[in-house]
Amino acid sequence: MSLPLSRSLSPGAVGIGLKPQHVEALLAAPRPADFLELHAENHMSAGGPERERLHALAERYPLSVHGVGLSLGGAERPDAAHLKRLAGLVHRLQPALVSEHLAWSRLDGDCYNDLLPVPLTEESLTLLARNIDIVQQALGRRLLIENPSLYVTIPINTLDEADFLTELVARTGCGLLLDLNNAYISAFNLHRDLDAYLAALPWQAVGEMHLAGHSLDTAVDPPLRIDDHGGPVTESVWSLYHRWAPAAAEAPTLIEWDAKVPTLERWLEEAKRARARRAEALTATAPTRRMPA
């Protein structure tokens, strides 16, 4: 079976996540989504019928490969075996996009099942830039870095997150995966000025946007918004999208839904809404934003 050619995304494309229960319907349907996102670690060792189905999807849909295990923000270099498997997956599928998180999850040979926050310091910036350079060299392409959802302030932070991301882009040439749900959650939990944060981002580097649902945990004091991807996009995040989508007018948008996964039809309704909100937003005045010199 021949390798699929890398498929580009049309401006403003809207995609959904790839879930096993939807694979047959996605193969049978006349491409109901503009693109599909898969989590890299779920497919690195795929073989047999699973690999054949994934290859069939890659021939029909542009793909986005989204990693969760590189531990880019860690003090150690990316695990060589993990990176080799990721590079093999990217080579086989030729996705339109490859992304990872601004997070760490590995230390002294131990792996943690979480995306842990990166201290916003010059030392962290240097290590993260080194690790991104290693990954981009191995993959032979630009990597998109996703902004985190945060729950506590790290006391040793010396840099603002937007400035940290701006410098990271400048040092490595990476792009940004702007998750508006994460931005909203972090602003609520950390009492951050959300508009100031968004205005300070390097919008020319935004290569993809994420939208998702979240929940409010009122069992803690003060309450926290939790990034659980367990429902439809909230109205507050839709409002953000409407205001800020014009700032990255051609960037594709992904609707995430990883818990309490809905039917394919329901998920596609969210994608349809994203297309409509984006179209409405592009007819309105784009928000004022600071661009780097």
Is the pLDDT at 4 greater than 70? The verdict is: no
Residue percentage of the chain with pLDDT more than 90: 82
Report pLDDT digits (tens) over 122-131: 999 999 999 9
| Mean pLDDT of the chain, nearest integer | 91
pLDDT at 285: 55
Phi, psi dihedral angles at 253 (to 5 degrees): -125, 135
pLDDT one-digit tens code per residue, 122-160: 999 999 999 999 999 999 999 999 999 999 999 999 999
User: Domains (ranges, CATH) in the chain?
Assistant: 14-282 (3.20.20.150)
Weakest mean pLDDT among 111-115, 194-198, 249-253: 111-115
pLDDT band at residue 108, thresholds of 50, 70 and 90? low
pLDDT at residue 188 greater than cutoff 80: yes
The pLDDT assigned to 288 comes to: 46
Confidence of residue 104 (pLDDT cuts 50, 70, 90): confident
The candidate with the shortest Cα–Cα distance to 248, out of 190, 157, 183, is: 183
Q: How far apart are CA 36 and CA 117, in angstroms?
A: 27
Question: Given pLDDT bands bounded at 50, 70 and 90, which one contains residue 284?
Answer: confident
> What are the φ/ψ torsions at residue 40 (nearest 5 degrees)?
-55, -45
Q: What percent of the chain has pLDDT over 70?
A: 91
CA–CA gap between residue 81 and residue 88 (Å, rounded): 11
Confidence at residue 110, expressed as pLDDT on a 0 to 100 scale: 63
CA-angle at 219, arms to 214 and 224, nearest 5°: 40
Tell me which long-range contacts 24-29 makes (C-beta under 8 A, separation of at least 24).
25/264, 26/57, 26/60, 26/61, 26/264, 27/53, 27/56, 27/57, 27/60
Q: Work out the pLDDT band at 51, boundaries 50, 70, 90.
A: confident
Query: 16, 271 in Cβ contact below 8 A?
Result: yes
Give the global pTM.
0.92
Is 212 in contact with 236 (CB distance < 8 Å)? Answer: no
| Sign of the C-alpha dihedral computed for residues 72, 73, 78 and 79 taken in this order | negative
* Of 274, 271, 266, 276, the residue nearest 22 (C-alpha): 266
pLDDT tens profile 266-281: 999 999 999 999 999 9
Among 146, 128, 138, residue whose Cα is nearest residue 81: 138
157 contacts: CB under 8 Å, gap ≥ 6: 119, 120, 121
CB 29: neighbour CB atoms within 10 A?
13
Residue 259 has a pLDDT of: 92
- Classify the C-alpha dihedral 220-224-228-232 as positive or negative: positive
